[in-house]
Amino acid sequence: MTAWLPIRAAAGEMDRGWRVHLIALGCLAGGILILFHRDAADLVAVWLTRSTYNHCALILPIIGWLAWQRWPALKRLKPSAWWPGLLLVGAGAFLWLLGEAGFAAIARQAALILLVQGAVITCLGKAVSRALAFPIAYGLFMVPIGDELMPAMQTLTAEISMVLLGLVGVPAHIEGVFITTPSGYFEVAEACSGVEFLIAMVALGALVANLCFTSWKRRVLFMIAAVVIPIVANGIRAWGTIYIAHLTDIEFAASFDHVIYGWFFFAFIIAVLMAASWRFFDRKIDDPWFDPDTLQADKPGSSFAVIRTAAAAFAIAAFPLAWSTAIASAGHQAAPASYSLPDVPGWQQVPRESGRPWQPHFAGADALRIARYRNAKGQEVDLVVAVFSRQEEGREIVAFGQGAIGPQARWAWTASGTPVPGGRSDRIASHGSVREVLSFYRVGGILTGSDYRVKLETVKARLFGGPQRAVAVLVSAEAPADGVSPRPAIDAFLADLGPIAALADRAAGL
């Protein structure tokens, strides 16, 4: 038989090269998830356990649906390994390394998303990535970011409520996020800030803007509405609760807020936004998502090319994990099995019996020692040494609740004291008693009292090597009488104690 015409693949038939590239992508993405399984598990746990980010669990199925919508035209493209995609993989790897060094879980989780996005672009190529640009970018909504907006949203909600209360003639006074009216005292708490709804609304708005609009001007206007309307609506919600309490009572208003507003109000807001935007939708049902003929510029690569590129991407992704492990092992110094606070010339250790009890808080420290010293003049000073042989997430020398005042302490910070070289001074008080606390931190090769410097030196040590230990030295004294400063006793003790850096190094076993 003689073939007079060439036999061509039917239009829309998937190119055979897809199989190799999808297998390479599956292996690469699976390898990345295995490497960073801790961050993947933490990410999913946040989605499932924190109501603010419950919607993030829907993003992955939505991405799959968006890709499936594009599949009829997508399979007409020829995938090709694309080396520039390795830049995104490298960016994700670098961000993960910074997050690991700085104990920032959110940075590591964002890095994981970037690594997978980079894997898609690297294995499928420029043309396919352009066709899947929105589904790939939409993956960023899986990162649980938004808690940082909470203080600003609380303040804005309170201010909107005050404006509306003034319009309806309800007298009110505001202090920060606290509003006082004749009917009661109200707080715009974190749960009432509206951040939860705002974050979900932005994710929904981005999806609708892509699905229903082709004009970029209309997309931008819709996204502005998707941001502004939830903020205003939450202010109206808070005002409504206060106004109902003014007309009835606080108990009824609280129940009304949780039942009516919590379940129906924001659903109503979404319905109103969609109904108002409906007539401006300019994407037709049969409009193509992209034109395969204009996108296909890549030449189909060989199977060896995509395997080689995927292997390079995996090596880049694995590098920060290997680097972090190697640096941590090299710089680890076990804390001494036993450590006693030093003898200080002119001072002797005495029981901590007088004054109001004070106990600093350093959760996760390998060693924590505290003792009281008294000199011949009767001056008394407390010395605290906390040793961390290696800082880890949850075991940080500088963090919320760490230091001179614990999370549930009876003492409260009142003011900063006179600065001290290599440390900082704080005044704390409790039921009429006043203390001054000098805090020194030995991290890497520096001695500082700055939380920022501690964080920076910790990152440097975990990135480039060096001593992983961190030591806190606190010197404190209680005021002997009202209006009498405890600082002279502290200064006298420091003069006899000697260099703080040397004391910290000895405590760490260096």
Q: Which of 140-149, 236-245, 468-477 has the lowest mean pLDDT?
A: 236-245
Task: Report pLDDT for 115.
Answer: 97
**Average pLDDT, whole number, for the chain?**
85
- pLDDT score of 3 more than 50: no
- Name the helix (H) or strand (E) containing 434: strand 433-443
Q: What is the mean pLDDT of residues 459-481?
A: 87
- By mean pLDDT, which of 181-195, 271-285, 445-459 is the weakest? 181-195
Residue 441 pLDDT more than 90?
Answer: yes
Contacts by 215-222, CB closer than 8 A, 24 or more apart? 215/282, 218/280, 218/282, 222/277, 222/280
115: enclosing H helix or E strand: helix 105-131
Please say whether the beta carbons of 435 and 429 come within 8 A.
yes
Which residues, in sequence order, are bridge partners of residue 386?
368, 472
- Both tokens of residue 17? 């090269």
pLDDT value at position 448?
Answer: 92
| Most confidently modeled range among 41-45, 231-235, 426-430 | 41-45
- Extract the tokens encoding 150: 């909470």
C-beta of residue 317 within 8 angstroms of C-beta of residue 115: yes
Render the burial of 377-394: b for 16+ CB within 10 Å, e for the rest: eebbbbbbbbbbbbbeee
Is 412:455 a contact under the CB 8 Å cutoff?
Answer: no
Residue 263 region, left (φ>0) first, then alpha (ψ -120 to 50), else beta?
alpha
Confidence at 345, pLDDT banded by 50, 70, 90: very high
% of the chain at pLDDT higher than 70: 89
| Residue 256: per-residue pLDDT | 61
pLDDT in tens, 207-222: 999 999 999 999 999 9
Q: How far apart are CA 27 and CA 33, in angstroms?
A: 10
Residue 151, burial from CB neighbour count under 10 angstroms (0-12, 13-18, 19+): middle
Alpha helices in 248-344 (DSSP H): 250-256, 266-278, 292-295, 303-331
Percent of the chain's residues with pLDDT above 90: 43
Helix (H, G, I), strand (E, B), or coil: what is residue 8? coil
Q: At 255, is the pLDDT very low, low, confident or very high (cuts 50, 70, 90)?
A: low
Tally Cβ neighbours within 10 Å of residue 318. Answer: 15
Interval 40-86: pLDDT, tens: 999 999 999 988 898 899 999 999 999 999 998 888 888 989 999 99
State the residue for tokens 């007309």.
247
Max CA pair span of the chain: 116
112-164 pLDDT per residue, tens: 999 999 999 999 989 999 999 999 999 999 999 888 888 788 888 888 888 88
Closest alpha carbon to 238 in 188, 171, 201: 188
State mean pLDDT over 253-279: 75
Query: The whole model's pTM is what?
Result: 0.76
487 neighbors 436 (Cβ within 8 angstroms) = yes
Q: 22-31, 413-422, 469-478, 495-504: which has the minimum mean pLDDT?
A: 413-422
Identify the bridge partners of residue 478 per DSSP, sorted by sequence position: 435
Token pair listed for 414: 């009142």
SS (H, E, C) 386-415: EEECCCECCECCCCCCCECCCCCCCCEEEE
**Which residue has better confidence, 179 or 7?**
179
Position 315, amino acid? A
- Sorted by sequence, the CB contacts under 8 Å of residue 234 that are 6+ apart come out as 153, 157, 160, 192, 193, 194, 197, 198
- 287 pLDDT above the threshold of 70: yes
Q: At residue 449, what is the residue type?
A: G
pLDDT level of residue 330 (50, 70, 90 thresholds): low
Distance CA 315, CA 463 (A): 18
